[in-house]
Structure 1
Amino acid sequence: MTANLLDDLNFATACRHTFYLLRHKVNALRRQILASPSLGHAQLTLKRNKTDRRHEGVLQIILAKTGDGACPVDALRKLLLLDPRGPDTPLFSFGRRPFSRNNFLSTLSTKLRTLGIQTHGYSGQSFRKGAAQHAHDSGILDDQIQMLGRWTSEAFMVYFTTNASVLYKLTHRFQTGSPAPLSLLLPPPSPPPS
């Protein structure tokens, strides 16, 4: 596999992991990953980070197999198979060097432009914001989203926007509820005079 294809594979896998882990980025070594083919998941063990308020020093994160083209577990297996390296090497790399924020964002911008997508509005927070919004739209409760993203405050709620179709369904359900909202308070209308 060529170096460019390996970089693309690393980038694509990192994008999936950044989204599903609700993280800004993933700085991990290969030895911190345990993929379980039989159980359909991968476990990532991260060292202490800023959300480690109890100073436990270790964060265990489980990635579930999703069964679709964006599956983070399948992407990880493919990466480990096609780009085999030692256990103390970075999980993701560009040109055999660890990912840097600048390299990642530069590559993201390049790929978006190639697809004809404007790059303004995309940042290192985009994956975390998109994942939180996806979880919200999927009906996952706010406290569960907070737990998944390891937020210690309610700051993640600023990421939510209301999808127009969801807003329509809520409005429709509210306005046509059973009984109709105002039906109990108002007498039925009188017939028009003849």
Structure 2
Amino acid sequence: MLRAKSKRKTTSPYARPGTRSTRTYRSQDPPPTTSSTGHASSTESSHAATADLGSIAPPSTATAGSSTAPPTDASASSTSVVKIQNPSPQCRQVFGTNPSYIIESLKPEVEDILSAAVSQNTATTYQRGLDSFAWFRKKYNLPLLWPPPVHQFVNYIAYLSAVSVSYSTARCYLSGISYQLQIQGKDDNTKAFIVKKMLEGLHRLKPSKDVRAPITLPMLNQIISALPTLCSNDYEATLFASAFKLAFFGLLRVSEFTVSSSKATTLSFCDVRVSDTEIQFFLKGSKTDQLCKGATVQIAFNSETSALFFHMQQYLAIRPHGEGPFFCHLNGKPLTSYQFTAILTRSIKFIGLDTSVFKSHSFRIGGATHLYQKGVPEEEIKLKGRWKSNAMYSYIRI
């Protein structure tokens, strides 16, 4: 399947030292704080947030040698350090190289191919990791060696733990650094034994827990009943009722049938077939199908899915004619993930449940749990949910 060239921006690993590629990520997150997300940014506009590790100051207020904590790699001599680039106010491109083996006229094509190798969400997370690590090194006045030595990674993991960054976020940040090192053909010290053990220890001390709860079938019916009160008109109520029901029985991710700023394609009108006995639709791609091989989902008519068939047929009867996104508003504009989540949150609150544990992914969790409780074979559930590993078991919440 042909795909349009991605318009996302990325930092080329082949940018010249001291220059910035026109394709750069914008990281608007503050340096690691005591929140569990641990997202870090090195842009001066986002330095308002600070974390308390011996009164950590943002990079914009720190100068060389004025760190509030002593450098963790004091053994490194300033005479033996070869800096890749002097720290900028943003403290970002400390790893730029310009391999001589890349033909100048082909560099834009190399950049396009590399930027397409990972999803935009992954690339954004990787950039946050690079920004976080750069901010950490500037904070403790560490030499900007590239590749970074093992002891810098050891201290970096300890720092992330001290400011309450979760294991999953720390692992993602190190993956971003590892990706850049491997792309540039450098020694990847994130794979060192002690670094792996530090991550394992962090996982044991701060295990990640998915607090999202499953939406059950009775709860789903309550949510649907609340929509006429919460939506602006009957069309909108029918639209969201169909989307909520399909997400539950189709074990769908919200990104598979809505649009977002980072994803222009979604479930199309031509991809869906509704008959009296079956609903069938084709997903062009998904989070775990980055190459867009596609998958066909089938939902048979029975006593439990009859309400889904009713809402889908009702929606198709009033939906604006023409191609385009399957779920769209009366003016033809597609249903966005933000709108889907906003109406879901209002519905959950309306029926008196905790909005902090019921999210858009609760439909997928609830659908998988529902099938499991009905006694559907596990292999069939994996097939319906398009799981290729044992990740399915993390979705079963009894």
TM-score normalised by L of structure 1: 0.71
Alignment of 1:86-101 (within 5 A): 86=322, 88-94=323-329, 96=331, 97-101=333-337
1:7/1:153 CA distance change after superposition, 3 Å: same
Contact in 2 for aligned 1:65/1:71 (Cα 8 Å): no
Alignment of 1:46-61 (within 5 A): 46-52=283-289, 57-61=293-297
1:160 and 1:46 map into 2 onto residues whose CA distance is: 23
* 3-state SS, counterpart of residue 280 of structure 2: strand
2:397 and 2:232 map into 1 onto residues whose CA distance is: 39
- Which residue identity lines up with residue 20 of structure 1 in the other structure? F
Contact in 2 for aligned 1:64/1:73 (Cα 8 Å): no
Match among 113, 119, 133 for residue 355 of structure 2: 119
1:126 and 1:51 map into 2 onto residues whose CA distance is: 18
1:168 corresponds in structure 2 to none
Alignment of 1:116-155 (within 5 A): 116-155=352-391
1:48 and 1:140 map into 2 onto residues whose CA distance is: 25
When structure 1 is superposed on structure 2, of 43-52 and 20-29 the one drifting more is 43-52
2:394 and 2:304 map into 1 onto residues whose CA distance is: 29
CA shift digits 1:99-136 (9 cap, x unpaired): 21111111001112222222120112100000111111
2:235 corresponds in structure 1 to 6
2:302 corresponds in structure 1 to 66
CA shift digits 1:158-193 (9 cap, x unpaired): 12233xxxxxxxxxxxxxxxxxxxxxxxxxxxxxxx
Decide which structure has the larger Cα Rg and report it.
2
2:253 corresponds in structure 1 to 24
- Greater relative CO, 1 or 2 (CA 8 Å, sep 6+): 1
2:218 corresponds in structure 1 to none
Match among 67, 79, 82 for residue 315 of structure 2: 79
Contact in 2 for aligned 1:133/1:161 (Cα 8 Å): yes
Percent of pairs identical after alignment? 24
1:124 and 1:56 map into 2 onto residues whose CA distance is: 22
TM-score normalised by L of structure 2: 0.37
Contact in 1 for aligned 2:272/2:281 (Cα 8 Å): yes
Unpaired stretches in structure 2, ≥5 consecutive residues: 1-230, 258-265
Q: Indicate whether 1:15 and 2:244 are aligned.
A: yes
CA shift digits 1:23-76 (9 cap, x unpaired): 112231111112223xx11211221334448x5733221121123576322221
1:51/1:29 CA distance change after superposition, 3 Å: same
- Which residue identity lines up with residue 300 of structure 2 in the other structure? A
Unpaired stretches in structure 1, ≥5 consecutive residues: 163-194
Q: Indicate whether 1:41 and 2:270 are aligned.
A: no
Greater strand fraction, Structure 1 or Structure 2: 1
Match among 156, 170, 173 for residue 392 of structure 2: 156
Count residues with an aligned counterpart.
Answer: 157
